[in-house]
Copies of this chain bind each other. A is one copy, B any other.
């Protein structure tokens, strides 16, 4: 089931930590710092990418720096038969950054951003324009306690089971 997943060894972890800290580092420089051959770093990177562990190197964008200072989480209760259309609808709204189908009453769960609380209202209005959306409940993010991170997970050594 949760079968084929890549298991990291120590070098992988050091590699990922290094690149997380200094992403624009070249392969050669990285190999020097890790004290391994350049080819090794290259091979590891290729393998991690092939395994899907590394999904990209994209520039990370801060919505906040673009003026979208408000983040909100919205639960949507929807007409299940219209799910397809609704997700397509959501996809078309740029302020919807993320969306999951979840267990519980809220059938869908979305992350929104907006320029202000007033703007948030506008965004939600666009969002609920689809009549397949029966009910929504919104929660506003006040402050980030832990920003999205994966390094602790990467560095985490699962105890032998």
* In contact, B65 and A141 (Cβ under 8 angstroms): no
* In contact, A100 and B141 (Cβ under 8 angstroms): yes
Q: Name A residues whose Cβ lies closer than 8 Å to a Cβ of B.
A: 1-2, 5-8, 16, 19-20, 23-24, 48, 51-69, 71, 73, 87, 90-91, 93-104, 106, 108-111, 113, 115-116, 139-156, 158
Chain B residue nearest to A153 in the complex (CB): B94
Given the known interface contacts A59-B19, A101-B145, the answer about A53 and B71 at a Cβ–Cβ threshold of 8 Å is no
Contacts of A153 in B (CB 8 A): 61, 63, 66, 68, 94-95, 97, 113
Given the known interface contacts A2-B116, A65-B51, the answer about A147 and B59 at a Cβ–Cβ threshold of 8 Å is no
Given the known interface contacts A6-B65, A102-B139, A103-B139, the answer about A60 and B55 at a Cβ–Cβ threshold of 8 Å is yes
